[in-house]
Structure 1
């Protein structure tokens, strides 16, 4: 095939992106841009955890109802609970563990354990319909605030 130039490659890249679908991760990029807001990501995870808790409460309220609307809402809340717990897992893995937790840190092992605890809590919240797992998720996320305090400019 004959070389068609930079414009062809640009068009090909755009088309590939259109057909592959949008890909968004709330966990920033993995480029060395130096633009980080760790506390904002922790706050976003706390918001996800609050959604997991609300979903868990509403799932319990809808359990046993057999009308179509209740069943529809039940499924939607289960899907939302799964989605928001998964977002937490992805943020910990894609952002914090790949970019912010470093083996050179003096308290590396402690940080690793606490970040892993968030992943486990999110997995548990996905697997259970008991609100205590959602609350454990929030608590494990709050335990990270010591490492990522709000930046007061």
Structure 2
């Protein structure tokens, strides 16, 4: 009987595992705009370099042919990664229905997704530049004046603390230089007595 109950419980759990999902597409607190911006910026650089390499390839040796294929794959992969971030981070989480900028943000996101498909089908640097321009405009739609994420605050505080420690360390070193290291003072008396300095 216990075995049947256990098996039934396991079976029910397995059947319903697909229904167990988090409330966010990505775990809260892990991603923030600047991190995603930097990731997409790096993917854009990768696509740009990939197309540059593809255009410069002579395609004459096996090594060059191999690298050609690898650059195509890398360029396409970077395009796919950007599309995933735009979809999962921005469309599914950041662009909210009913907000004043939503239509403008949606049009821009759709334009970028469309351009990413074209980039995969071509080796035109102008397409990358056009995408990068649209991306810069899109980023500005999410810029919050005086916003500083918690990770940046922690990093800034650590830099300030490190600077202060370095500064006080230098001050302590200068003070140590001024303190005499040997017993170089005269006594007005000849009595031998212990000194504490």
TM tier, smaller: 0.7 to 0.9
Q: What is residue 23 of structure 1 aligned with on the other side?
A: none
Bigger mean CA offset, 36-45 vs 121-130? 36-45
Does residue 136 of the first structure (1) align with residue 130 of the second (2)?
yes
Q: What is residue 51 of structure 1 aligned with on the other side?
A: 46
Q: Using a 3 Å threshold, how does the CA distance of structure 1 residues 58 and 35 change in structure 2: closer, same or farther?
A: closer
- TM-score w.r.t. structure 1 length? 0.76
Higher relative contact order (CA 8 A, sep 6+): 1
Q: What is residue 102 of structure 1 aligned with on the other side?
A: 96
Runs of 4+ in 1 over 6 A off after TM superposition: none
Whole-angstrom CA distance in 2 between matches of 1:147 and 1:36: 18
Does residue 80 of the first structure (1) align with residue 74 of the second (2)?
yes
Aligned CA-pair RMSD: 2.5
- How many residue pairs get aligned? The number is 133
Kindly state the Cα deviation for residue 35 of structure 1 after the two structures are TM-superposed.
5.3
- TM-score w.r.t. structure 2 length? 0.60
Q: Using a 3 Å threshold, how does the CA distance of structure 1 residues 35 and 51 change in structure 2: closer, same or farther?
A: closer
Q: Which runs of 5+ in 2 are unaligned?
A: 15-23, 154-197
Contact 2:59-2:68 within 8 A present in 1 as well: no
Q: What is residue 60 of structure 2 aligned with on the other side?
A: 66
Bigger mean CA offset, 138-147 vs 77-86? 138-147
Larger Rg: 2
* Candidates 25, 28, 42, aligned match of 2:37: 42
3-state SS of paired residue (1:145): helix
Q: Which runs of 5+ in 1 are unaligned?
A: 13-28
